[in-house]
Amino acid sequence: KARAYTIKVPLSKMQMLLSTKFEHTAEQLDKMQELRHLVESANELDISADDILLSKFLTFTGWQVERAYGALNRYYDFKLHNPDWLAHHEVHYFRDHFYQTLSKYIMPKPDKDGRVIFVSKTVDAFKTFPNYMYDIIEMDDLIFESLLLLPQAQKYGITVISDLSGTNKRFLRFASPAMAKMVNAKNDVMPFTSRIVH
């Protein structure tokens, strides 16, 4: 006969990483309301001003409302003018990509400074997935946007470990100055408080 057990696990950094509970001071809540008002009254922004979105940009700018509003506008301008650099597919579309390449994953524990660790490996899967380079761009977008929903990532940022050992001629075809410029432009608008790349 099977028995049910309850295992009590002490709160660890891993659990903090997986937590989606945000804790804000009264002053921070006021600033979120201020930013919400700016977003909702802006004609050029047609977005949902939910708490997580507002918190993401306020944390990024040190809780300065005007700077957060500017960062939010730059972020959505980038999205408007560069649709190829955003995720267009549902997460399940990339299931085979993730399982067959094992090229992107989040480490179970953050680094010593609390940053979420994201590992990205170059794996040649161009024959299996015809649009692989654009799929990589979409997968990264999904991962980064998902991480920014977590209080831990909003507060401490991320550490990116790039394993380029699988880079070959197929990847190098895409390594143009224009591609590098777009990568930098997207990095500039992603609201991570800290991004360390190894």
Summarised one tens digit per residue, pLDDT across range 32-58 is 999 999 999 998 888 989 999 999 999
Q: In the sheet that 104-106 helps form, which strands lie side by side, from edge to edge?
A: 104-106, 116-121, 158-163, 195-197
Identify whether residues 168 and 147 lie together within a single domain. yes
The reply to whether 17 falls in a domain is no
Average pLDDT for the chain: 88
Question: Do residue 116 and residue 183 come from a single domain?
Answer: yes
73 and 140, same domain (yes or no): no
Residue 21 lies in a domain: no
Within 10 A of 172 (CB to CB), how many other CB atoms are there? 9
Kindly state whether residues 72 and 34 are assigned to the same domain.
Answer: yes
Tell me which of 49, 81, 113 is where a domain ends.
Answer: 81
The two structure tokens encoding residue 106: 């989040």
Q: Is residue 23 scored above 90 in pLDDT?
A: no
Domain of 67 in residue numbering reads as: 26-81
125 and 74 within one domain: no
* Helix or strand run (H / E) with residue 105: strand 104-106
pLDDT given at position 61? 98
Structural domains of the chain, count: 2
Claim to verify: residue 136 and residue 56 sit in the same structural domain = no
Residues 70 and 163 in one domain: no
Q: Is residue 5 predicted with pLDDT exceeding 60?
A: no
Same domain, 105 and 140: yes
pTM: 0.85
pLDDT at 178 over 90: no
Is the domain of 143 the same as that of 186?
A: yes
**64/96 same-domain check:** no
Cross-strand pairs, 121 = 163
Q: Alpha carbon 32 to chain centroid distance?
A: 21
Domain for residue 8, yes or no?
A: no
**Does a structural domain hold residue 162?**
yes
Question: Are 69 and 122 members of one domain?
Answer: no
Say if residue 151 is in the same domain as residue 166: yes
Does the residue 7 lie in any domain?
Answer: no
* pLDDT 10s digits, 111-168: 999 999 999 999 999 999 989 999 999 999 999 999 999 999 999 999 999 999 988 8
Asked if residue 6 is part of any domain, the answer here is: no
- Where would I find the H helices in the chain? 13-18, 26-41, 51-60, 65-81, 95-101, 132-147, 151-156, 169-172, 177-189
